Amino acid sequence: MTEPANAATTPERLTIPDRLNIADEFVSRPAREHPEKLAVLGSEREATYAELERDVNRVARALRDAGCGVGDRVLIVLPDSIEFIASFFGAAKIGAIAVPVNSFARESDYAHYVRDSGARFAIVSAEPYPAFCGAVNHAAPKLTIVVGTRGRIEPPPHGMAVRWEDWLPASAGGIETHATAAKDPAFFLYTSGTGGPAKAAVHSHKDMMFTSRGFAQGVLGLRAADRVFSVSKLFFAYGLGNGMYFPFSVGAGTLLYPERPTVDDVAEFVARYRPTVFFCVPTFYGALLREFDAGCAMDFSSVRLAVSAGEALPAEIFNRFRNRFGIEILDGIGSTEMLHMYLSCRPGQTRAGSCGVPVPGCDVEIRDAQGQAVTDGGIGDLWVTGGSMFTGYWNAWQGSDARRRGEWFNTADKFVRDADGFYRYCGRADDMMKVSGMWVSPGEVENALLGHSAVAECAVVGRADAAGLVRPVAFVVLRDGVSAPAGGFDSELHGWLHTRLVGFKCPEEFHYVTELPKTSTGKIQRFLLRQG
């Protein structure tokens, strides 16, 4: 195959041993190297690497004694906590498959997770446990372990339940790590999905090695002295790396924050625990800026690196954050299928509105609808390949094949690359609009709208008018304290956009809403807005 004009230069490949288990690599190894160093901070209790390894081994022993075997799925419905980490790596240690899912989900979500994964074991926090029981019906796991409850436990239908404290042994004894191959499945991660039921991406033990080496070390330069804080939760692919195995890969400490994030609480947490690396999503960066401008005290002086992903970071938010706090946010983009970032800006090499360049260990290509390489400046689909790519979608292998071509994966995202090799996100393939025969990126219009002093959040979608022609339509959340006049802000916003964009990109139809529909990871669900 001829090297396309916009393919990244392939970096030196990471050598992975044939036998590999993530519990050994990310818990036992750092526990041997610096047992007394704090691995977990910020939660209700702290833990050194030696203490964390003991907890992992206790969970591994309890699972094995309960009949959990190689390949069994262990559903994890827990907030960010030592129990989450111990459950995840405890399952992996015995060759089982960890399946972390959203602990703030609905009954219907839990029903899907249990039914789809076929989990025989579940470790569930007391808070979502009633919803979990109401969801599982006849598909209940063989055994459910409930964390954080002191009272009597009502078991789920057709299953058994036990308290975490009663289930765990006082010590693990001699628990051996199962000799998993590097390519054996280690965990499932459910896609956030902007439509349709979530699919479980199957990941192998080797995948965490590739993302740790490529992004955590190759891009961020994480080090043992770092204190890492991720607003995104561990049950998401983004948060799983940020808040767990990335810091463990270098012997750093992770700051766990189990509650739902609010701006005031996160600001207080950052000031109190002083992280050096801060991970967040664009919508939350925007919320931080709004509250700061409204007088909320914030201290980011400890932060040496701020990272964004989930959606493209608007240039407006990048510039405002830099001006307020003196920190250039490193924007990047990844996916559940690739486990973490495949494009990212580098420290000292940021560009507002750009997702940066390929992460070490990942190659990318921009292709047209016929699969041919697109030249610089042209918009096309982004294809990616790398050692962390998922094996496939559990129970949906045909869906995997539809997105893959050999070792390449179609992200379904539209991108353009400039002459300097920087990539800019244009939108999901189904979010792009063809207006007057020209492609329009919703992100470009949204960024222009965010520059208006009355706009807190916005989303732009394409809708057909009475003549059947697609036109951009804007949904706007106004800032606190701003009230739309009787006629709305339509004329003012339309005029504002016309000073920044060519005419065909400017919406003439505006809808003012109190909030935008989003996935649990903060991505705007534009398909709901298109449906109207």
pLDDT tens for 458-504 read 999 988 877 667 889 999 999 888 876 666 688 889 888 988 888 88
Name the pLDDT band for 196 (thresholds 50, 70, 90).
Answer: low
Q: What is the per-residue pLDDT for 341?
A: 97
Question: What mean pLDDT comes out for the span 22-38?
Answer: 97
Structure confidence at residue 182 as a pLDDT band (50, 70, 90): very high
Give the separation between CA 112 and CA 104, rounded to whole angstroms. Answer: 14
- Please give the pLDDT value at position 193: 54
pLDDT tens digits, residue range 330-364?
999 999 999 999 999 999 999 999 999 999 999 99
Three-state DSSP class for 479? coil
Average pLDDT, the chain: 90
Overall residue count recorded for the chain in this entry = 532
**Using one digit for the tens of pLDDT, what is the confidence trace for 258-313?**
999 999 999 999 999 999 999 999 889 998 998 999 899 999 999 999 999 988 89
Can you list the positions of beta strands (E) in 87-234?
97-100, 121-125, 143-147, 160-163, 185-190, 200-204, 227-230
Q: How far apart are CA 462 and CA 427, in angstroms?
A: 12
pLDDT band at 166 (very low <50, low <70, confident <90, very high): very high
CA angle 443, 270, 77 (to 5 degrees): 75
pLDDT at 441: 81
Task: Look at residue 7 in the predicted model and tell me its pLDDT.
Answer: 37
Tens of pLDDT, residues 392-423: 999 987 767 778 888 999 998 899 999 999 99
Residue 454 and residue 489 in contact, taking contact as beta carbons nearer than 8 Å: yes
Range ranked top by mean pLDDT from 27-31, 171-175, 514-518: 27-31
Burial class (CB in 10 A: 0-12, 13-18, 19+), 492: middle
For residues 248 and 26, is the Cβ–Cβ distance under 8 A?
yes
Nearest to 190 by CA among 181, 199, 182: 199
pLDDT score for 309: 94
| pTM for this model (two decimals) | 0.85
Q: Which of 359, 325, 334, 327 is nearest to 345 (CA)?
A: 359
pLDDT of residue 38: 97
- Mean pLDDT to the nearest integer, 43-72: 95
Dihedral sign, Cα of residue 200, residue 205, residue 211, residue 216: positive
Q: Is the pLDDT of residue 430 over 90?
A: no
| DSSP line for 65-118 | HTT--TT-EEEEE--SSHHHHHHHHHHHHTT-EEEE--TT--HHHHHHHHHHHT
Kindly tell me if the per-residue pLDDT of 44 is higher than 90.
Answer: no
pLDDT at 1 (0 to 100): 29
Query: Is the separation of the CB atoms in 171 and 58 below 8 Å?
Result: yes
Q: What is the pLDDT of residue 532?
A: 67
pLDDT at position 170 is 93
Pairing of strands 121-125, 73-77: parallel
Mean pLDDT on 410-437: 86
Structural domains present in the chain: 22-200 (3.40.50.980), 205-391+404-428 (3.40.50.12780), 433-531 (3.30.300.30)
Residue 85 has pLDDT above 50, yes or no: yes
Confidence bin at 10 (pLDDT 50/70/90): very low
CA atoms within 13 A on the CB side of 282: 27
pLDDT category at 9 given cuts 50, 70, 90 is very low
Amino acid 502: pLDDT: 83
